[in-house]
A = this chain, B = another copy of it.
Amino acid sequence: MISTNEYFDGQVKSLGYTTSIGNSTIGVMEPGTYEFGTSTHETMHVIEGEMIVKLPGSTAWLTFKAGASYEIDADEKFQVKVSAHTAYLCQYK
């Protein structure tokens, strides 16, 4: 089954599914700034576009372009800025 999810009044949408290695979502963010919280470890891959990210415990904004990825531990918060529609793959494991 493929789940459909919407966040931030539809400014972020994702599709959830399960693979042999765990749960994943692919999603799209409209231009904006978002704060996300994690309940499990997440590996975020930028598919198209670009994310500017403030990682947990960091004061710096780091840029991740298409092809780049970053990881977030469980029970953390992180902020993401995108200036154009940006697509991602998030793996929960």
Interface residues of A (CB under 8 A from B): 1-2, 4, 10-11, 13-15, 17-20, 24, 26-28, 30, 47-49, 84-85, 87, 89, 91
Q: How far is the CB of A31 from chain B (nearest CB, A)?
A: 11
Q: List 10 A-B contacts (CB under 8 A).
A: A1-B30, A15-B26, A15-B28, A18-B85, A20-B84, A24-B48, A26-B26, A26-B27, A48-B91, A87-B89
Residues of B within 8 A of A49 (CB): 19
CB–CB A19/B2 < 8 A? no
Q: Is the interface of A mostly helix, strand, loop or mixed?
A: strand
Q: How far is the CB of A2 from chain B (nearest CB, A)?
A: 5
